[in-house]
């Protein structure tokens, strides 16, 4: 029973059928028929962004905070090319989004028409899959399949390019349940290998769980199962930047984030463990440091839904292909049925060792004098907001790492940060997407002033839709992370890494009709943060911080985990050898 309707109507109908309630977009000539249909219905809210990159990041933020796919709608040509950064970001971080792009009419494709771009060609390497739909009869089936592909297996972004004549033409609407697909990724892990892992857990002397974004992507059940498994085994757990929140920061077994700016105890434990259980992480270069010195004494298990992540850079002993939640459920069952055994004596010794490492207190800082330390600003933000069920976004740079270090995450889907691609300008539009998904929640974007300026136009969007997103800008008038690398690696020659001609952020906020707050005094910081939290509307918080603070601890490029540099007492002069300089 297929109904006849126009292509434009099909787009809206299939979005409704897929349960979409919000679309982030920007109109233009090639998507006018779809905008006309959006105008004539009340099921889907359209959020008009101020730049297409903002639409895609907002869709990403929405997807990560709600666990549902995000949708963006942009026009042909420049609309589509502006979406490319967001698509690549979503591909790197495995975020399910559906981006609809308008295209010039089919009979004009290839003629260098006005606002024509080869969208499927340009987006092929930065999407999980994409389609150019030339036949209205096929449009609704492609729409439904797009949601299936974006959300199944390893999630990712998809693009549907829809020529304008296809939007105007009438065709048959296909319901989702009538659509056939061959895409069916394996979710159950191999039971033999899961049993082998359970056996390894029973005899491990120095085990560690190393979890990643895959646990979050797998859904809330995966985080719940992970918590059960950790509680049942008593093993320590660390996580990548992407995986924060899957295990609560207040949990007994939490030893902090690992990686280049991770905690000393987490990195030392990764280096010295004898059993590493990787759940939904991918041995990224921010995590491993020098590959040939990465955790040399351990047996490694790797649970991942993507076969290409397994054995890509690190050889593992127990590869388990499958979805985190499915595998964790089986692993927990096998381990329980075998009698819940662990080597308690040695694991206790291991905890003793980890607790010794913790005593180094690698995040210690001293707030002296009248200048706010960025670490202090975030510690206060943590203290004053931890009672809220809050959602934190970040931009990219030092502030992002400090946020990961000093803020605690108790639940999944509360932490939205650009991990793989490292996209400056991600956080602000992402916070808009998060707030759309959770209208009553406290949403804070921890930003640097340089990153924030990259998509500052979205302040208009926040105002238009009355989204009370809090922009917490750690303003050091520098590209802090670039400056830090130039200090460590390029003889303190600070080439183009300071921000001149910065705007007055308070006046900037006011120009948009938002609230601006500036704070430079540690003593008034708490009051200023409370003022931000108590204001019902978007706030631009300009927190003037120490300009030359470096982000520590740090594993220098080309070094293994156990050669971290720690804060103030560290000898940074010869930290990075020439071989490491080529790495980023």
Partner 1 sequence: MSPLKIKKGSTSHSAYDLRPTFSDKKEQHTLAVLVENEPGVLSRVIGLFAGRGYNIDSLTVAEVDHTGHRSRITIVTSGTPQVITQIKAQLGRIVDVHEVHDLTVEGPSVERELALLKVAGAGDHRIEAIRLADIFRANVVDSTLESFVFEITGTPEKIDAFADLMRPLGLQEVARTGVAALSRGAL
Given candidates 3, 4, 45, 121, which one binds partner 1 under the rule CB under 8 A?
121
Dist. CA 202–CA 344, nearest whole Å: 9
For residue 442, the surrounding DSSP H or E stretch is: strand 442-448
Q: Which residues fall within 8 angstroms of residue 160, CB to CB, at 6 or more apart?
A: 98, 99, 100, 101, 130, 131, 133, 142, 143, 146
Q: How far is the CB of 163 from partner 1 (least distance, A)?
A: 14
Cβ closer to partner 1: 319 or 429? 319
Cβ closer to partner 1: 159 or 381? 159
Check if 134 is active-site: no
- What 106-111 contacts at long range (C-beta under 8 Å, 24+ apart), as own/partner pairs, is 106/134, 106/163, 106/165, 106/166, 107/165, 109/163
Dist. CA 421–CA 95, nearest whole Å: 12
Cβ closer to partner 1: 147 or 505? 147
- Contacts with partner 1 by CB under 8 A: the residue count is 42
Q: How far is the CB of 92 from partner 1 (least distance, A)?
A: 13
Q: Which of residues 61-80 bind partner 1 (CB under 8 A)?
A: 68-69
Check if 410 is active-site: no
Given candidates 180, 292, 500, 523, which one binds partner 1 under the rule CB under 8 A?
180
CB-count exposure of residue 161 (10 Å: 0-12, 13-18, 19+):
buried
Dist. CA 29–CA 75, nearest whole Å: 7
Two tokens at 177?
């349940």
From the list 481, 532, 554, 564, the catalytic residue is: 481
Query: Three-state SS for 124?
Result: helix
Cβ closer to partner 1: 315 or 341? 315
Using alpha carbons only, what angle is made at residue 558 by residues 556 and 564, rounded to the nearest 5 degrees?
35
Residue 310 found at the interface with partner 1 (CB under 8 A): yes
Given candidates 105, 185, 460, 580, which one binds partner 1 under the rule CB under 8 A?
185
Check if 470 is active-site: no
For residue 575, the surrounding DSSP H or E stretch is: none
Which of these ranges, 180-188, 342-350, 393-401, 557-565, lies near partner 1 under the rule CB under 8 A? 180-188
CA 23 to chain centre: 20
Check if 481 is active-site: yes
Which of these ranges, 303-311, 345-353, 531-539, 559-567, lies near partner 1 under the rule CB under 8 A? 303-311
Q: Which of residues 321-340 bind partner 1 (CB under 8 A)?
A: 321
Check if 164 is active-site: yes
Which of these ranges, 27-35, 124-132, 457-465, 526-534, lies near partner 1 under the rule CB under 8 A? 124-132
Q: Helix 7-17 to helix 136-151 angle, to the nearest 10 degrees?
A: 30
Given candidates 48, 113, 176, 506, which one binds partner 1 under the rule CB under 8 A?
176
Which of these ranges, 73-81, 184-192, 549-557, 568-576, lies near partner 1 under the rule CB under 8 A? 184-192
DSSP 368-425: -TTSB-HHHHHHHHHHHHTTS-EEEEE-SSHHHHHHHHHS---STT-EE---SS--TT
Given candidates 50, 51, 128, 290, which one binds partner 1 under the rule CB under 8 A?
128
Cβ closer to partner 1: 122 or 270? 122
Residue 417 found at the interface with partner 1 (CB under 8 A): no
Residue 148 found at the interface with partner 1 (CB under 8 A): yes
Given candidates 28, 153, 427, 433, which one binds partner 1 under the rule CB under 8 A?
153
Q: How far is the CB of 148 from partner 1 (least distance, A)?
A: 5
From the list 107, 114, 510, 530, the catalytic residue is: 114
Dist. CA 133–CA 112, nearest whole Å: 19
Dist. CA 414–CA 472, nearest whole Å: 16
Query: Three-state SS for 82?
Result: helix
Which of these ranges, 103-111, 301-309, 391-399, 521-529, lies near partner 1 under the rule CB under 8 A? 301-309
Cβ closer to partner 1: 174 or 400? 174
With beta carbons less than 8 A apart as the criterion, state whether 80 and 122 touch: yes
Backbone angles phi, psi at 335, to 5 degrees: -65, -40
Which of these ranges, 234-242, 315-323, 331-339, 542-550, lies near partner 1 under the rule CB under 8 A? 315-323
Residue 272 found at the interface with partner 1 (CB under 8 A): no
Dist. CA 439–CA 452, nearest whole Å: 22
Residue 441 found at the interface with partner 1 (CB under 8 A): no
Residues serving a catalytic function are 52, 114-115, 164, 481
Q: Which residues bind partner 1 (CB under 8 A)?
A: 17-19, 68-69, 120-121, 124-125, 128-130, 132, 144-145, 147-149, 151, 153-154, 175-186, 306-308, 310-312, 315, 319, 321
């Amino acid at each position: 029973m297929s109904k006849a309707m126009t292509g434009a109507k099909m787009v809206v109908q299939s979005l409704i059928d897929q349960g979409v309630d919000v679309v982030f977009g920007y109109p233009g000539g090639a998507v006018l028929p779809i905008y006309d249909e959006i105008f004539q219905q009340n099921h889907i809210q359209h959020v008009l962004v101020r730049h297409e990159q903002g639409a895609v990041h907002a869709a990403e933020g929405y997807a990560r905070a709600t666990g549902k796919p995000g949708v963006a709608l942009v026009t042909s040509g420049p609309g589509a090319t502006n979406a490319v950064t967001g698509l690549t970001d979503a591909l790197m971080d495995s975020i399910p989004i559906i981006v609809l792009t308008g295209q010039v009419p089919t009979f004009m494709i290839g003629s260098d028409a006005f606002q024509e771009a080869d969208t499927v060609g340009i987006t092929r390497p930065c999407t999980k899959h994409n389609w150019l739909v030339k036949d209205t009869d096929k449009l609704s089936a492609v729409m439904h399949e797009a949601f299936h592909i974006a959300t199944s297996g390893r999630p990712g972004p998809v693009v549907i390019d829809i020529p304008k004549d296809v939007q105007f033409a009438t065709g048959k609407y296909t319901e989702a349940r009538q659509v056939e697909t061959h895409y069916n990724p394996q979710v159950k892990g191999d039971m033999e290998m899961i049993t082998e892992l359970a056996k390894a857990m029973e005899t491990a002397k120095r085990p560690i769980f190393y979890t990643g974004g895959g646990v979050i992507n797998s859904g809330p059940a995966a985080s719940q199962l992970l918590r059960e498994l950790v509680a049942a085994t008593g093993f320590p757990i660390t996580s990548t930047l992407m995986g924060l929140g899957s295990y609560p920061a207040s949990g007994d077994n939490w030893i902090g984030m690992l990686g280049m700016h991770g905690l000393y105890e987490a990195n030392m434990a990764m280096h010295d463990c004898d059993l590493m259980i990787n759940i939904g992480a991918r041995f990224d270069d921010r995590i491993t440091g020098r590959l040939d010195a990465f955790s040399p004494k351990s047996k490694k298990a790797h649970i991942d839904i993507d076969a290409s992540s397994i054995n890509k850079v690190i050889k593992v002993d127990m590869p388990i292909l499958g979805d985190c939640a499915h595998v964790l459920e089986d692993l927990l069952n096998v381990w329980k049925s075998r009698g819940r055994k662990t080597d308690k004596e040695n694991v206790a010794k291991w905890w003793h060792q980890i607790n010794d490492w913790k005593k180094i207190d690698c995040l210690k800082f001293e707030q002296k004098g009248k200048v706010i330390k960025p670490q202090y600003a975030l510690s206060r933000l943590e203290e004053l907001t931890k009672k809220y069920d809050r959602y934190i976004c970040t931009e990219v740079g030092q502030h992002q790492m400090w946020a990961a270090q000093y803020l605690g995450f108790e639940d999944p889907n509360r932490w939205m940060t650009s991990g793989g691609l490292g996209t400056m300008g991600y956080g602000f539009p992402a916070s808009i997407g998060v707030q759309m998904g959770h209208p009553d929640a406290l949403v804070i974007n921890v930003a640097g002033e340089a990153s924030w300026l990259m998509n500052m136009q979205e302040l208009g969007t926040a105002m238009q839709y009355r989204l009370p997103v809090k922009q917490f800008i750690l303003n050091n008038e520098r590209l802090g992370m670039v400056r830090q690398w130039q200090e460590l690696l390029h003889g303190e020659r600070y080439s183009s890494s300071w921000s001149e001609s910065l705007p007055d952020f308070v006046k900037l906020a006011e120009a948009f009709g938002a609230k601006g707050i500036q704070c430079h005094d540690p003593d008034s910081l708490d009051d200023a943060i409370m003022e931000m939290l108590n204001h019902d509307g978007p706030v631009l918080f300009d927190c003037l911080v120490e300009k030359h603070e470096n982000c520590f601890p740090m594993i220098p490029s080309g070094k293994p985990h156990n050669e971290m540099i720690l804060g103030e007492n560290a000898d940074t002069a010869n930290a990075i050898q020439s071989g490491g300089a080529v790495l980023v």
